Amino acid sequence: MAKLNFGGVEEQVVTRAEFTLEKAKEVLANETVAVIGYGVQGPGQALNLKDNGFNVIVGQRKNSKTWDKAVADGWVPGETLFEIEEACQKATIIEFLLSDAGQIAVWPTVKKHLTAGKALYFSHGFGITYNDRTGIVPPADVDVIMVAPKGSGTSLRRLFLEGRGLNSSYAIYQDATGKAYDRVIALGVGIGSGYLFETTFKREVYSDLTGERGSLMGAIQGLFAAQYETLRENGHTPSEAFNETVEELSQSLMPLIAENGMDWMYANCSTTAQRGALDWWKKFRDATKPVFAELYNEVKSGNEAQISIDSNSKPDYRVKLEAELKEMRESEMWQAGVTVRSLRPENN
C-alpha cells in the first residue's frame, strides 16, 4: 500500500503495481461475481471483469431494454445472463449496481440469497448510509464492501479499452469472513481502477452527492448558463457565447488541467487571461461557498437522499426526468453546442 502526503495529511492508496491483476485473479479464483443491474455502472464493470478473465454473470430483469442491451453486449441468456434472483443465487459476490431507488425495490430478493460467507458489493454508499430510509440492512455474516469509480460506467469502459484506468475509492463496511479487504481490492483492480483510495460508505456518499450537485454537474451547468445568458444579453451571438463559455473550456483548457493542474493551464494562457483569472477566482469562491455549505448540510441531513428516493420511486419518474433533460437539451445554449460540435474538424 502506497502512502501519499498532502501537506501533512497522509492517505494510503493501492495501485496495480502492488496489487496486480494476477493477484486479483488468485483472490477471486473460486468466486462467481453477479453484476445486478445493467444501467449506468453495470455494463462497464461487468465487461471489464469479463475481459480481465474473472468468472462474472449478469442479473437483469427479462424483457427489458437493459436485458436486450446485455444480450447485444455478448451476455448469453441461461449461461452468463440470468433473471436477478437466479443470478443472486449462483453468486458468491453480488455487485448491487441498480439505481438507488431500484436497490430499495429489489432488496428483499437480494437479501434472500445473502447466505453466510457471501459478499455484497456496492459502487455507492447511498443504500447503506441511509438504511433508515432504504431498509437495506445486510445480514451480519456477509462481507459488505464498495468500489466507487470516480466517473461514469461509460468512462470506466472507455478508459479500460484504451489501456488506462479510472481512479476509484474503496470501503469495507462489514468484514464477516476476514477476506473483505482482498475481495474489495481484487474487484477494484478487476473492474479497471487506475488506483484505489480508502474511504467509508458515509464519506463516499456525502462527497459524491455534493460533487454531483456541485462542481461536477449542477454547479457547472449553472455557471455555464449564467455566463452564456450574460453574453447573449449583451449582444454576443449564440456561437460566440457558446465557444467562450463551453467549447474553449472542454476542448482546450480542461485537457491542460487534467494534464498538469490548474496553474499549468494558467501558464499556457495569455498574461491578460492569467491576471483576470487570478483577480476573479476568489470572488467566485466566496460567492458560491455558502451554497456549497448549504448543499453539504442538506446531503448530511439526509434531505437530498429523501428527495431522490421520493422522486425516483414514482412510476412516472423517467417521463418527468426526460422532460427536464429535454428542456436543457433544447435550450439555446445546448442547441448552439450541437451546431458548434458539428463544425469540429473531426466531424467534417
Give the list of residues 6+ apart from residue 216 with CB closer than 8 angstroms, or none. none
265 exposure class (CB count in 10 Å sphere: 0-12, 13-18, 19+): buried
Residue type, 8: G
Which of 266-288 are b and which e, b meaning 16 or more Cβ less than 10 Å from the residue's Cβ? beeeeeeeeeeeeeeeeeeeeeb
Question: Cα 147 from chain centroid?
Answer: 10
Signed CA dihedral, 72, 76, 78, 80: sign only: negative
Looking up cell 496489487 gives: 19
Q: Supply 79's cell numbers.
A: 449461461
Report the SS3 class of residue 192: coil
- Catalytically active residues are 124
C-alpha cell at 106: 429489489
2 and 15 Cβ atoms separated by less than 8 Å:
yes
